[in-house]
Amino acid sequence: GAGVSQSPSNKVTEKGKDVELRCDPISGHTALYWYRQSLGQGLEFLIYFQGNSAPDKSGLPSDRFSAERTGGSVSTLTIQRTQQEDSAVYLCASSLLLAGAANTGELFFGEGSRLTVL
Amino acid sequence: AQTVTQSQPEMSVQEAETVTLSCTYDTSENNYYLFWYKQPPSRQMILVIRQEAYKQQNATENRFSVNFQKAAKSFSLKISDSQLGDTAMYFCAFFSSGSARQLTFGSGTQLTVLP
């Protein structure tokens, strides 16, 4: 696609429910990132996928959070047993990393999924 | 670990005037990249400008320019001839391909351009 696509755009759920957020990166981009943005805050790194390498999960806040990336393309972020503090905008970004080239860190972002946990 | 600090939570500027947003960072890396991203109400982060640390020349993109002071670890953004469409949250970000391969963001500055 032309850009990074995220769905749903908005999600309202009840405390304790599981949610899945989807990210479809720019075609051909090998790197995919998930960030969380709480109200009025900066972006908090969650997880990073690069090609077939093991993902960098160092930013996941708890074991209720997990993510997978199937076929090196679409990614799903899953939050189990949601809590009110999980309410935030979840942003996905992708970047192109060419073989043998330095990653310059330029990310292309989607519009985010706003999660509200009641 | 790298940290990025934006000390101005909110700023405003009159249309057509110039405004400077501040950013400082802390790192032990020598090779890295710095960015300014803009986030309008639509939520989509848009890259405004990028600076490679090994370049002494300050980056410019039309009305946007940076003042990169490597020794001081300072990276400010200057917006000239401000336009109403510049109203957005602006984030400073740091990236080093030598360590964790992720952007580290500051807390953001909400810029409002006044008519």
Q: What is the pLDDT of residue A105?
A: 64
CB pairs under 8 A between A and B: 66
**Domains of chain A (ranges, CATH numbers):** 5-98+108-117 (2.60.40.10)
- Taking only the tens place, the pLDDT of each residue in B4-40 is 999 999 999 999 999 999 999 998 888 888 999 999 9
In this structure, what token pair is assigned to residue A109?
């972002």
**Residue A40: in which H helix or E strand, if any?**
none
Contact B97 A103 (CB under 8 A): yes
Contact A56 B100 (CB under 8 A): yes
DSSP, residue by residue, B4-63 = EE---SEEEEETT--EEE--EEE-S-SS-EEEEEEE-TT---EEEEEEETT--SPPEETT
- Taking only the tens place, the pLDDT of each residue in B77-89 is 999 999 999 999 9
Q: What is the pLDDT of residue B77?
A: 98
Q: Is B78 helix (H, G, I), strand (E, B) or coil?
A: strand
Contact A59 B43 (CB under 8 A): no
Q: What is the pLDDT of residue B92?
A: 96
Q: Is A33 helix (H, G, I), strand (E, B) or coil?
A: strand
The CATH code belonging to domain B3-114 is: 2.60.40.10
CA neighbor of B51 nearest in space, from B31, B80, B71, B27: B31
Q: Tell me if chain A has a CB within 8 Å of the CB of B97.
A: yes
C-alpha angle B85-B89-B93 in degrees, rounded to nearest 5: 120
Q: What is the pLDDT of residue A96?
A: 81
Compute the distance between CA of residue A62 and CA of residue B68 in angstroms, rounded to an integer: 37
In this structure, what token pair is assigned to residue B56?
């002494």
Q: What is the pLDDT of residue B99?
A: 57
> DSSP state, B72?
T
In this structure, what token pair is assigned to residue B23?
């950013």
- Taking only the tens place, the pLDDT of each residue in B43-69 is 889 999 999 998 889 999 999 999 999
Give the mutation candidate from A5, A43, A49 for the B interface (greatest B CB count, under 10 A): A43
**Residue A96: in which H helix or E strand, if any?**
none
Using 70 as the pLDDT threshold, list the residues of chain A that sit under it. 1, 97-105
> DSSP state, A62?
S
Contact A33 B102 (CB under 8 A): yes
Q: What is the pLDDT of residue A20?
A: 98
Residue B101 has pLDDT above 70, yes or no: no
